[in-house]
Amino acid sequence: MYKDQKICVVIPALNEEASIGKVIDAIPEFVDHVIVINDGSTDRTREIATEKGAVVVNHKGNKGLGIAFRSGVRKVLELGGDIMVNMDADGQFNPKDVSKLITPIIDGKADFVTASRFKDPELWPEMSKVKFWGNKQMSRLISRIINQRFYDVSCGFRAYTKDTLLRLNLFGTFTYTQETFIDLAFKGLTIVEVPTKVRGTREHGKSRMASNLFKYGYRTSSIILKTLRDYRPMRLFGNLALIFLLAALALGIFLLQHFFRTGEFSPHKWAGFTAGFLFSVSLIIMGLGFVMDMFARMRHNQEEVLYHLKKISLEKGDDVRDIAPRATLPTVQE
């Protein structure tokens, strides 16, 4: 079924010596390459992965999950992979489910497939109520931004076609999960969710990504806002300008009502000055939105050019990194 496709599994890992060996051992035999991105581990993660026959890419120090993901993308392209599957090294995902993720791609029904922990209520994992609520709210937010309904935008078990990898342009260092959804959805690629049974807690250690939910929420929200700024600036700046405009109108109406009742503006002249200030801010934000929208159109054209350059470079056997942004494909030590 998969003989015509070179399949690579990418596993970012940071101090996962307790689980990385079991994860690699469970990878299906039809997978051509298992690639471990050793993100500055100080334990035996690198040694164990090498002993298990994985291709190991080493970072000098901890760079973050976002950069580890992009290192995996680069290595898959270098190895000529047709499909990339990324999964965590902590053992929460069942490697045998790789076939579930790549099937929609093989059948030509998807460009990007993600495992979904929450689409099927019967498969909901056991996790704290706070984490469950946070995941659901994040999925609702991303769904609203991209105007498509998704139930799990934070799962780290996903599959991509080669063409999708060439189109990806990510810049977040902390994580990549939500940014990937926005980036690919805005580019019109087909995204499919596959309900999958996932263990809700790690067998060894604690989650580093969501150990502090407030910090996680802040950093992921920052990535989302930057992506929205770059791809849909009028939605961001237009809504913000509307808020200031409505506040200005409310104060203006309040002041006029007072004037019609009393015949004078005192003692609420402050409302008029504040309304004028808020109206000016609204105009400035809207103007900024128009400027950012112009840059967004330029970015769209540049990304199309970049995609074709990367594709040509890959076909010629050149290093894709030579023409890709540094933030997209980082330099690593192998």
**Range 148-152 average pLDDT:** 92
Count other C-beta atoms under 10 Å from residue 333's C-beta.
Answer: 8
pLDDT at 200: 60
Given CA atoms 126, 128, 132, 135 in this order, what sign does their dihedral have?
negative
DSSP-assigned beta bridge partners for residue 84: 8, 160
Q: What is the pTM of this model?
A: 0.75
How far apart CA 205 and CA 105 sit, in angstroms, is: 34
Kindly indicate the confidence band of residue 330, based on its pLDDT and cuts at 50, 70 and 90: very low
Poorest-pLDDT segment among 101-105, 139-143, 254-258: 139-143
Does a cis peptide bond (omega within 30 degrees of 0) precede residue 28? no
Q: pLDDT tens across 18-35, in order?
A: 999 999 999 999 999 999
CA-CA-CA-CA dihedral for 137, 296, 108, 27, to nearest 10: -60
In the chain, domain spans: 7-231, 233-322
Residue 70 CA to its chain's centroid (Å): 11
Closest to 84 measured CA to CA, from 97, 96, 74: 74
3-state DSSP assignment of residue 86: strand
Enter the tokens of residue 215.
């910090």
Q: Are 45 and 20 in contact (CB under 8 A)?
A: yes
Cα–Cα separations (whole angstroms), residue 84 to 102, 132, 156, 164, 253: 9, 27, 13, 10, 58
Q: State the Cα angle at 118 between 113 and 119, rounded to 5°.
A: 65
Q: pLDDT tens across 261-288, in order?
A: 998 999 999 999 999 999 999 999 999 9
Kindly indicate the confidence band of residue 58, based on its pLDDT and cuts at 50, 70 and 90: very high
Q: pLDDT tens across 293-320, in order?
A: 888 788 777 787 878 788 887 777 766 6
Q: State the Cα angle at 180 between 178 and 183, rounded to 5°.
A: 110
**Percent of the chain surpassing pLDDT 90:** 51
The fold adopted by the segment(s) 7-231 is Spore Coat Polysaccharide Biosynthesis Protein SpsA; Chain A (3.90.550)
Rounded to the nearest 10 degrees, the angle between the axes of helix 129-146 and helix 213-231 is 0
Question: Can you list the alpha helix ranges (DSSP code H) found in the chain?
Answer: 20-25, 45-51, 65-78, 98-106, 129-146, 162-167, 177-186, 213-231, 233-262, 269-316
How far apart CA 57 and CA 40 sit, in angstroms, is: 10
